[in-house]
Amino acid sequence: MEINNKQDSNGVDMPIKPIVALERLFNAVESLSQPFELLEGESLWIQPENPMIWMFTDGLLTIMRRRDGLHLQSARANLIYGLAEAFQYRGFLLVRAETTCRGCCLPVSSFIEIINSNGLWHDVAVVLSYYINILIYRDQQLVGSDTYTIIRHKLIELMTYSESFRMKSKNSAFRYIQQRTSISRSNIFRILSELNKGGYIKIENGQLMDVYKLPLSY
């Protein structure tokens, strides 16, 4: 089966990446697209005068809000950037490479032509549904939640990344949370310090080393 149920630390079902649908789309366009490489720290966004579909096959990237740089979601390849903008351009988002990212890209018009000729609209719908569910899952963790619950979720999220990612100075526990929430600096520092002193997490030189059993409430 393409999708298996998986739950987070709160017992909430997590959206599962539709691997088979993504593979079918990648295979259909690969030979008709241009390769690209996005180095760590580089960004790209959809240009209204030349909309493209960007298909990432390797790397870790972060989706950000253009107006203020708020980090909305980090994701690993394989993934497709530009599907929503292909049908209704908004220009709200950009993507930034957290590691060197590679893939292929092609104009939206060419992508639609390939999808039409290969009857792949069901796979496009499956992928878009997955992205919608990712946003819903994120909002479940953040909207209407208290400060501690949001920080708890972000600490658990940070621990899902590789040690090499977590040990980079730009990915300190404090900065990771600050870039992805609107929580004040003082509240982030206070809660991280108290969790560290209480033995719920292990932070060394600002970097998150481990997360133990975090209490559900604070």
Q: Is the pLDDT of residue 126 over 50?
A: yes
pLDDT (0 to 100) of residue 10: 55
pLDDT tens figures, 168-196: 877 799 999 998 888 999 999 999 999 99
**N residues, the chain:** 218
Confidence of residue 9 (pLDDT cuts 50, 70, 90): low
Residues 40, 59: Cα–Cα separation, whole Å: 9
Q: Which residues contact 65 (CB under 8 A, 6 or more apart)?
A: 72, 92, 93
Least confident of 22-26, 56-60, 71-75: 71-75
Q: Is the pLDDT of residue 148 over 60?
A: yes
Nearest by Cα to 133 from 15, 9, 20, 8:
15
Residues 123, 125: Cα–Cα separation, whole Å: 5
Residues 62, 75: Cα–Cα separation, whole Å: 6
The fold of 19-142 is Jelly Rolls (2.60.120)
Q: Is the pLDDT of residue 1 over 60?
A: no
Could you tell me what percent of the chain has a pLDDT over 70?
94
Residues 11, 6: Cα–Cα separation, whole Å: 9
Query: What would the 3-class secondary structure string for 128-153 be?
Result: HHHHHHHHHHHHHHHCCCCHHHHHHH
pLDDT tens figures, 79-102: 999 998 888 888 888 999 999 999
pLDDT (0 to 100) of residue 137: 83
Neighbours of 173 (CB within 10 A): 24
Q: What share of the chain is helix, strand, coil (3-state, %, to 5)?
A: 40, 25, 35
pLDDT (0 to 100) of residue 177: 93
Residues 101, 98: Cα–Cα separation, whole Å: 8
